[in-house]
Amino acid sequence: MNVGDTAPDFVLPDHLGRRWQLSEALAISPVVLFFYPGAMTIGCTAETCHFRDLGAEFTALGATRVGISADPGNVQREFATRNAVDFPLLSDADGFVGNLYGARRNFALRPGKRATFVIGRDASVRGIITSELRMQKHADEALDILRSSFAA
């Protein structure tokens, strides 16, 4: 996946068991889709909470935040509850969507990569953030991309 590519559409269950589809979300707003290796881990908690804490800034820019990992729905639900997450966390249990986006690795314990995609309403990928160790970089850079790509 590269900047300028068309983001593949997909449907996955969110942490409340509801159906979530990328194209439906894009009909309303740009989407910041962040893949994280595993719920309940220190790094993924820090990353997810930073996206949560910057919620007003994402909302002001008209963007939807959504997290995704291979964790099952019950784990995603507990993760969202423990951390007061106010956006969907999607369960990609078989890794299909992660593979579509190049956000998977061949490592059984944590098969997901840490990668964030800023996607315009036209489904074009406007930015990609891939730092594995700088958790706050993902939300911060996604905001920068939104400001430069979608600001009026």
Q: Which residues does the annotation mark as catalytic?
A: 44
Alpha carbon distance 127, 117 (integer Å): 6
Alpha carbon distance 138, 116 (integer Å): 6
Q: Which residues contact 118 (CB under 8 A, 6 or more apart)?
A: 30, 31, 32, 63, 125, 126, 127, 128, 142, 145, 146, 149
Q: Which residues contact 112 (CB under 8 A, 6 or more apart)?
A: 35, 36, 37, 38, 69, 70, 92, 95, 98, 103, 104, 105
Alpha carbon distance 54, 104 (integer Å): 26
Measured in whole angstroms, how far is the alpha carbon of residue 109 from the centre of its chain? Answer: 20
Give Dmax (Cα) for the chain: 44
